[in-house]
Amino acid sequence: MFESRSLHRRRFLAGTAAGAIGAASSVSCVSAARAQAPAGDAVKPEAKLEAKPLPGYVAWKDPNAFIVHSNQTVETKRGLVGSGVVTPINRLFIRNNVNPPPDSIVADRDAWRVEIAGVAGPRTLTLAELKRMGLASVATVLQCSGNGRKYMQDALQPGQKISGTPWTVGAAGCVIWSGVPLKAVVEALGGPVAGAKFVTGTGGEELPAGLKPKDVIVERSVPIATLDTVLLAWEMNGEPIPLAHGGPLRMIVPGYSGVNNIKYVKTVALTEAETDAKIQAASYRMHGVGEKAGPAQPSIWEQPVRSWITAPLEGGAAGRVLVTGVAFGGTNAVARVEVSADGGRTWTDAPFVGPDLGRYAWRLFALPLDLPAGTHVLVSRATDAAGTVQPEDTAPNGGGYSYNGWRGPAVTLRTA
Amino acid sequence: MFESRSLHRRRFLAGTAAGAIGAASSVSCVSAARAQAPAGDAVKPEAKLEAKPLPGYVAWKDPNAFIVHSNQTVETKRGLVGSGVVTPINRLFIRNNVNPPPDSIVADRDAWRVEIAGVAGPRTLTLAELKRMGLASVATVLQCSGNGRKYMQDALQPGQKISGTPWTVGAAGCVIWSGVPLKAVVEALGGPVAGAKFVTGTGGEELPAGLKPKDVIVERSVPIATLDTVLLAWEMNGEPIPLAHGGPLRMIVPGYSGVNNIKYVKTVALTEAETDAKIQAASYRMHGVGEKAGPAQPSIWEQPVRSWITAPLEGGAAGRVLVTGVAFGGTNAVARVEVSADGGRTWTDAPFVGPDLGRYAWRLFALPLDLPAGTHVLVSRATDAAGTVQPEDTAPNGGGYSYNGWRGPAVTLRTA
């Protein structure tokens, strides 16, 4: 892994120098990872991706805000998450593991039923019943476990391969969820059964015919400690959750990566063991590149501390720029963020701006900088409340998960 | 005024009793004010209003979320502001004093120009230039000065009249605005001129022909102390501000009522005196019913402490209900909210839920209550951080402004 990282850095530095000398235009916006490839290669794939139209089930979203990787993977363009802390739903990324259920499940939202198991008095409750049991609201960063995978893929050694969508930074947003605390529901049903160690949620997707259900079902287990924070949510950003984002009811595990937040949740069980569904047992595991994933490896649960710059993404006139970005700490609050305009050699603390929506939300930062004419490599580095500092890079892993390096999303730009 | 208030209370109590005896249905949701009128009168006007379609310029909004009073006054239905603290734009009320400018002004947002005057180095700046000068984000309650006017109108004595849209509680929402602090702009231009006492903003509306400009121009002055908090905002809830809400650029005065937040702002001046535009000098003043408004009377600036219930709005089965609502303190944070299920005789503290977006935002509250079979009058009462308690009622004033009584928006419901 260390070899690979060193190589990445060497290639990165070489790429930056080449960009500085070779760029004909005064405006060049390329990520550090892309800077290392010949210009032709770097530009074409993204241009092709952007041209794909939004899939029909999310056609109501802002058509100009996305890079459509596939029908199930739709990435928010960098810089379009807005400056209001909360990401507008019509610009929020999409990632599904299985096709969404039909629209009919949101025709009568209050009639949606969720089975609560692994409690003293198991019951199936309607959404209407849940709404009378309590109300809480929490802002969380919703982020695909593979957000930033492209930076890992770009740093691989010859012969290595990481499959999966090459997300850069756009498989993430900050959302306010409203619903009932799972804890209130569990307590109303007599509390957890003895020995329960996990909260296991099952999605209501219609499973494709001809496949073993365990191979495709979206069923994830998270540690029972999350019982203190899990929400059964029916609203996002004040609106009923759209089907594409898991409505009518989604299980939200604050601070945990996207896959753990079960859409159209139909069962929530407190269980002794993790589910043996493939998505839990043999996917979303932290394993080496080329190794097989299995239940003994760490599961992709808590999101690591992370930040990236959202503006400027293009060069221009030398002089004053306002460097803005987002920073978050997963299950910890983010405590600090620094910005560098020289690729990480020197750092300046950047102030947070806007309301603090709590430990699971991201914070915006904004730092004015005076950039002389030349090439600048802008990066940001966050530190969480526990003192964990965002690393320069993240060692590649087999699934391309949990990238949180500050080097990958570097913005290289020229000012003149 | 005292006479009028006493009368209102007496009529209210009589109305409630009549409702308890006379209601044939087990489900009745009427405001206290409406309860006093015969059922036929109470129902018809609102049913008629709801039937009006959304005006074309806001046809993109949720058609089911509004009561359309007129082309310029569109009220959010009670209970539809959501449970996510921030009000979705597609459910946010609309109130214009003059027709909105043409769409063309948002075709190239960054080219919008705003003149900054009353500073050492006055200049006209483009929105693109403003974006380089700083970034801040603030959550504020945006509320029409006349929100709740209906409760005043319903309490008038024979012969008295208050003109204006009969808003109940739906001319309000909580919005996250992003833009540059006006203070940063003023400082960059050398600071205020000597003697400046007001911040005066002018809207970019096209004025109707044939009228004296001063009679129709939207130009408001607020005390210069607001220079510490005023934002020149280009985003709301993370999106470019729609034209209907004042895009491309709106002057936001946190804690001040709606009219002070100038849409399509084209001039911001630090001035010695208040503008003599009619909307400042002879409107939005605190004056007695039937009296003429003038500049000697207090201007409608800071919003008073206020709260109301958002659910339940309908009766049903006796038993557990979750009483939810919103509470805010204008320029002060809201510190406490209490709920009563017996029309204000006894009170219980209601916990706040969800993130605290700062002193100018509203907070959500949620209190579980067990309601036996019968008639219940639900009310809420907020207290701000300065200790000011929301009053039972607000003495009527000539413009029907700044209603903040807890009595008016009472919810009367029957459980069986």
CA angle A377, A382, A385 (to 5 degrees): 170
CB A206: neighbour CB atoms within 10 A?
Answer: 12
Closest-approach residue (CA) in chain B for A325: B135
Contacts of B176 in chain A (CB under 8 A): 84-86, 354-355
Q: Per-residue pLDDT tens, chain A, 416 aa: give them.
A: 333 333 333 333 333 333 322 222 232 333 333 333 333 333 344 444 447 999 999 999 999 999 999 999 999 999 999 999 999 999 999 999 999 999 999 999 999 999 999 999 999 999 999 999 999 999 999 999 999 999 999 999 999 999 999 999 999 999 999 999 999 999 999 999 999 999 999 999 999 899 999 999 999 999 999 999 999 999 999 999 999 999 999 999 999 999 999 999 999 999 999 999 999 999 999 999 999 999 999 999 999 999 999 999 999 999 999 999 999 999 999 999 999 999 999 999 999 999 999 999 999 999 999 999 999 999 999 999 999 999 999 999 999 999 999 999 999 999 99
CB-closest option in B82, B135, B355 to A139? B355
Please answer yes or no on whether B324 and A358 come within 8 Å at the CB atom. Answer: no
Strand partners, B202: B219, B267
CB A180 within 8 A of CB A200: no
> Any chain A CB within 8 A of the CB of B109?
no
Give the distance, in angstroms, between the CA of residue B180 and the centroid of all CA atoms in the same chain. 23
At position A134, the amino acid (one-letter code) is G
Q: CA of B69: how far to CAs of A266, A268, B360, in Å?
A: 41, 45, 27
Q: Express each pLDDT in B25-42 by its tens digit.
A: 332 333 333 333 333 333
Please answer yes or no on whether B84 and A176 come within 8 Å at the CB atom. Answer: yes
Q: Strand B113-117 and strand B265-271: pairing?
A: parallel
Q: How far apart are CA B247 and CA B251, in angstroms?
A: 10
> Any chain A CB within 8 A of the CB of B134?
yes
Nearest chain A Cα distance for residue B254, angstroms:
13
> Any chain A CB within 8 A of the CB of B94?
no
Nearest chain B Cα distance for residue A366, angstroms:
7
Q: Is the peptide bond before B53 cis (omega within 30 degrees of 0)?
A: no
Burial category of B139 from C-beta neighbours within 10 Å (exposed 0-12, middle 13-18, buried 19 and up): buried
Where are the extended beta strands (E) located within B295-355?
A: 306-311, 319-328, 334-340, 348-349, 352-353
CA angle A395, A401, A407 (to 5 degrees): 50
Please answer yes or no on whether B237 and A322 come within 8 Å at the CB atom. Answer: no
Closest-approach residue (CA) in chain A for B324: A135
Please answer yes or no on whether A236 and B136 come within 8 Å at the CB atom. Answer: no
Please answer yes or no on whether B355 and A134 come within 8 Å at the CB atom. Answer: no
What the block records as the tokens of B37 is 């009128």
- Position A35 scores a pLDDT of 32
Who's near A17: CB < 8 A, 6+ residues apart?
Answer: none
Strand partners, B123: B116
CB B206: neighbour CB atoms within 10 A?
Answer: 12
